[in-house]
């Protein structure tokens, strides 16, 4: 528990967490405003007041998972980048415990980001949607989608820590994760021969977790969430065994 609190102190005494939170909120607010402004059949988006509109807005937080992913990656890799791995592992020679503390600390940090992002999304959609005719209706499926979108932000923070433990190099881990998310996975998903594997990949799992009405090619929402969490934990365990235990010179 001391180690978890130590991680929070680390996070709160540098500016990166604050900036990522700010950017995440701005992105979510911006996307929400865009979806609301362009709502209507003529733009190919569901019109305000429809159930589909509510669900589209509810999925917005899942669009900024890259923020908590980067937060988690930096949380782990900064120890190597700034060589603070030395005092950190001196304070806790059990390196596995350090990784577990980071997973817990960044899950909570991810939750804070999630609450803020969901709040901004709901507020912007409520005010702007209301001005355009109707605020989203959170009474139906949309509320569940919104909650799971927020939860995806938490899971991505955990995945970030796992990737960071595995890769250790901050730039490599961030760039690698972004290339995977925005280049590799879309390609895999677009090729018919490999697209059947997509549902088991992180992107497919995220889609399963937050999709309002999923096709047969996606897993169930909770399966998707657990699969995502599994990816993060497997990366963290592999990272601990293969990378974090290596000599710190």
Partner 1 sequence: MTAVDSLSFSVEPGQVTGFLGPNGAGKTTTLRMALGLITPDRGTTTIGGTPYAALTDPTRHVGAVLETAFHPGRTGRDHLRVYCRAAGLPGARADEVLAQVGLTPAGKRKAGNYSLGMRQRLGLATALLGDPQVLVLDEPANGLDPEGIQWLRGFLRHLAHDQGRTVLISSHLLAEVEQTADRVVIVGAGKLVREGTLDELRDESAGTVLVRTPAADQLAAALAGPDVVVETTAPGALTITGLTTDEVGHRAFTAGVELHELRARTSGLEEVYFRLTSGAEQYAAAPGSAS
Residues within the interface to partner 1 (CB under 8 A) = 2-3, 5-6, 9-10, 13-16, 78, 82-94, 247-249
Minimum Å gap between C-beta 190 and partner 1 is: 40
Minimum Å gap between C-beta 147 and partner 1 is: 32
Q: How many Cα atoms sit within 13 Å of 57 on the Cβ side?
A: 36
Taking CA atoms, 5 is separated from 9, 19, 74, 102, 159, in Å, by: 6, 21, 17, 10, 20
Q: Please, which residue, 2 or 43, has the CB nearer to partner 1?
A: 2
Q: Please, which residue, 234 or 245, has the CB nearer to partner 1?
A: 245
Q: Please, which residue, 171 or 179, has the CB nearer to partner 1?
A: 171
Q: Please, which residue, 15 or 215, has the CB nearer to partner 1?
A: 15
Q: Please, which residue, 5 or 220, has the CB nearer to partner 1?
A: 5
- Give, as one character, the DSSP assignment of residue 45: B
Taking CA atoms, 116 is separated from 23, 108, 111, 127, 168, in Å, by: 11, 13, 9, 16, 29
Minimum Å gap between C-beta 71 and partner 1 is: 15
Minimum Å gap between C-beta 108 and partner 1 is: 15
With left for phi above 0 and alpha for psi between -120 and 50, is residue 175 left, alpha or beta? alpha
Specify whether the CB–CB gap between 68 and 161 falls below 8 A: no
Torsion of CA 42, 48, 49, 52, to 10 degrees: 70
Minimum Å gap between C-beta 243 and partner 1 is: 14
Q: How many whole angstroms separate alpha carbon 51 and alpha carbon 122?
A: 15
The values of phi and psi at residue 197, to 5°, are -80, -15
Q: Please, which residue, 151 or 243, has the CB nearer to partner 1?
A: 243
Minimum Å gap between C-beta 158 and partner 1 is: 21
Q: How many whole angstroms separate alpha carbon 35 and alpha carbon 212?
A: 16
Q: How many whole angstroms separate alpha carbon 220 and alpha carbon 205?
A: 9
């Amino acid at each position: 528990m001391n180690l978890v609190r130590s991680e929070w102190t680390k996070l709160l005494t540098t500016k990166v967490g604050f900036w990522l939170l700010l950017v995440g909120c701005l992105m979510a607010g911006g996307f929400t405003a865009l979806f609301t402004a362009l709502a209507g059949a003529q733009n190919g988006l569901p019109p305000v007041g429809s159930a589909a509109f509510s669900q589209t807005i509810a999925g917005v937080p899942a669009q900024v998972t890259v923020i908590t992913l980067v937060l988690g990656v930096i949380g782990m890799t900064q120890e190597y980048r700034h060589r603070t791995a030395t005092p950190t592992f001196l304070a806790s020679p059990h390196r596995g415990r350090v990784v577990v503390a980071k997973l817990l600390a960044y899950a909570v940090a991810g939750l804070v980001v999630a609450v803020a992002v969901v709040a901004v999304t709901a507020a912007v959609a409520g005010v702007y949607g209301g001005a355009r005719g109707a605020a989203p209706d959170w009474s139906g499926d949309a509320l569940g989608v919104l909650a799971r979108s927020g939860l995806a932000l938490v899971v991505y923070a955990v995945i970030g820590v796992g990737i960071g433990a595995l890769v250790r190099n901050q730039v490599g881990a961030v760039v690698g994760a972004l290339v995977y998310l925005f280049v590799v996975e879309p390609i895999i998903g677009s090729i018919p021969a490999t697209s059947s594997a997509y549902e088991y990949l992180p992107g497919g799992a995220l889609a399963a977790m937050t999709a309002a009405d999923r096709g047969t090619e996606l897993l169930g929402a909770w399966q998707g969430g657990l699969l995502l969490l599994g990816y993060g934990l497997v990366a963290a365990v592999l990272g601990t065994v293969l990378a974090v235990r290596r000599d710190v010179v």
